[in-house]
Structure 1
Amino acid sequence: MMQIEDSQILEKFADEHTRHEAFSLLLKKYQQKIYWHIRRLVIDHDDADDLTQDVFVKVWKYLANFRSDSQLYTWLYRIATNECLTFLNKKKQKNNVPLDEVSHDLADTLTEGSYFNGDKIQMKLQQALLTLPEKQRLVFNMKYYDDLKYEEISEITGTSVGALKASFHLAVKKIEAFLLSND
């Protein structure tokens, strides 16, 4: 199947007669990427599934206002990232626990979840990621898993490229230390 360009999706979305077709194309192109971006941040499949739906409800609602001053996928990632951060902060406040304890709960979910079928190395990497501060984990996921450039991550997070490089470097060092200490 030939990959449709974002500009074509936006063009079709602008026309009321082809709006549903355009949204269907957008879902086909981005839904899985957005789901995995969210899943790596919130870990739990059901939460990731719910958040992915929330993201695309917002996309449907606001896509007509998209100004094209950024790329469509960075706009989608920004929405998904903000939804995840809001979700994690609500979870932290609801349980009235520090984020590192929420991360510990998420690590438990990793081992219990029937949707996670990674090998031991992947499991250790995920556990290491959960020890990272939120920002470092976010940057590491976008760079390592989504293969985004620092400039794209900067657009999504509103953080300078220099700060992102520093966050990524620190994240890698912490992950290495975690993996070496848990051998």
Structure 2
Amino acid sequence: MITDQQRAFEQLYHNNVDKVHRLCLGYVKGNQPLATDLQQEVFMKVWQHWNSFKGTAKRSTWLYRITVNTCLQFLRDNKNKLTESLDNKIEQVVETVVDKELQYATLYACMNKLNKVNKSILLLELEEVPQQEIAAIVGIKHNAVRTRINRIKQQLTKCVNYENI
């Protein structure tokens, strides 16, 4: 017999699995297998800590916070490995990809130049998370989120244009 907790978890999972995956994908520079592993780890943590949810925010906000924290912890734990892996991938991309794929790689490289908070804001904005919710997730005011989004867009535009010269 399925409990209410299991039903609620399944609903949270089905409503957010794609968003969590894309958010993880942004943190691991487009690496699908790593993003899938992180996504699974996120939902395992959500299940393990289901009863610790305080209810002060929406469950989806709590889920995004767990996702961001899980991704940041992974990056801290694997900093050197990911840098070497990215360097190797960039060399392969430059040699073999078509123009459109190169543009995506450039965009990811520019995104990775953002600080952690701005990167989180950008990825959540791309997932169409409401700005009020983004503010709650990253711990800043709503107006600051709007300002940062505009500045992030300007930074990325400059970076992408510079990288394509």
| Identity percentage of aligned residues | 23
Deviation at 1:136, TM superposition (A): 1.6
Question: For the Cα contact (< 8 Å) 1:40–1:141, is it kept in 2?
Answer: yes
Alignment match of 2:54 (pick from 61, 64, 67)? 67
TM-score in terms of structure 1 length? 0.71
Alignment of 1:19-30 (within 5 A): 19-30=5-16
Tell me what 2:153 maps to. 172
Question: For the Cα contact (< 8 Å) 1:150–1:164, is it kept in 2?
Answer: yes
- What SS does the corresponding residue of 2:10 show, helix, strand or coil? helix
Q: Residue 27 of structure 2 aligns to which amino acid in structure 1?
A: L
Alignment of 1:38-77 (within 5 A): 38-43=24-29, 44-77=31-64
Q: Does 1:130 align with 2:117?
A: no
Deviation at 1:109, TM superposition (A): 4.1
Total equivalences in the alignment? 158
Distance 2:87 2:143 in 1: 30
Alignment match of 2:67 (pick from 80, 83, 87)? 80
TM-score in terms of structure 2 length? 0.78
Instruction: Identify if the C-alpha distance between structure 1 residues 47 and 158 changes in structure 2 by more than 3 Å, giving closer, same or farther.
Output: same
Alignment match of 2:21 (pick from 13, 35, 41)? 35
Instruction: Identify if the C-alpha distance between structure 1 residues 67 and 133 changes in structure 2 by more than 3 Å, giving closer, same or farther.
Output: closer
Deviation at 1:33, TM superposition (A): 1.2
Distance 2:86 2:117 in 1: 16
Q: Residue 118 of structure 2 aligns to which amino acid in structure 1?
A: Q
Tell me what 1:8 maps to. none
Unaligned ranges ≥5, structure 2: none
Instruction: Identify if the C-alpha distance between structure 1 residues 16 and 118 changes in structure 2 by more than 3 Å, giving closer, same or farther.
Output: farther
Tell me what 2:142 maps to. 161
- What SS does the corresponding residue of 1:148 show, helix, strand or coil? coil
Distance 1:25 1:129 in 2: 31
Unaligned ranges ≥5, structure 1: 1-14
- Which structure has more relative contact order (CA 8 Å, sep 6+)? It is 2
- What SS does the corresponding residue of 2:49 show, helix, strand or coil? helix
Instruction: Identify if the C-alpha distance between structure 1 residues 63 and 91 changes in structure 2 by more than 3 Å, giving closer, same or farther.
Output: same
Deviation at 1:118, TM superposition (A): 9.9
